[in-house]
Amino acid sequence: MSLKAGAYSLSGNSGNLHVYTFKEGLLSKLAHDLLIDITDFKVDLDVPEAGFTSGSLGLEIQANSLKVICALKDGEKTDALKEKDIADIEKDMGGKVLHPDKYPAANFRSKSIQEKDGGYKINGDLSLHGVTKSIDFDIDTNGENLKGMITLLQKDYGIKPFKAMLGTLKIKNEINIGFDLSLN
């Protein structure tokens, strides 16, 4: 379904932007897949009268705004993390993975937008951790909401996936960023 013409400015009040990380390694049974909330972001969406395919999409994420929601087991939320675990993970995300003092924001700017099966295929440049790369992702919409998932490889952006215990416990290189945003 097409989007109504207008200029939209979306933030955390408009819905959710989440990061999903996945564990691997010899001791992965001791670790958790994680659901992480991005709390400080801004999406600028321009939909001209001619339609979204001649519009634009921009995103800015503050790198220090990631907060652990919970652990996941088989894709389901669990209460397996204690407050100290969450604090330790958030500290490591900043100090050992994202380095927000050096790279305070991640930015995306669309280059092309094409209609695709009740939604849109977006191509643009993502700047993350000092590296800019072209990415593609799909947006599903009912005309009022935007939903989708973006898959990234951390190493493509110079990010070393977190590891502990001499590498026997680590986060996979591949992460997912899911979004569910309302235009209302």
Q: With contact defined as beta carbons under 8 Å apart, do 55 and 45 qualify?
A: yes
Residue type, 170: K
In Å, how far are 19, 56, 78, 173 from 176, measured between CA atoms?
A: 6, 22, 19, 10
Under CATH, domain 6-182 is a member of which superfamily?
A: Lipid/polyisoprenoid-binding, YceI-like (2.40.128.110)
Domain boundaries, the chain: 6-182
Q: Enter the pTM of the model.
A: 0.91
Distance CA 38, CA 15 (A): 11
pLDDT in tens, 60-83: 999 999 999 999 988 889 998 999
How much is the average pLDDT of 83-100? Answer: 91
Write out pLDDT tens, residues 129-146: 999 999 999 999 998 999
Residues 77, 78, 84, 90, Cα dihedral to 10°:
-20
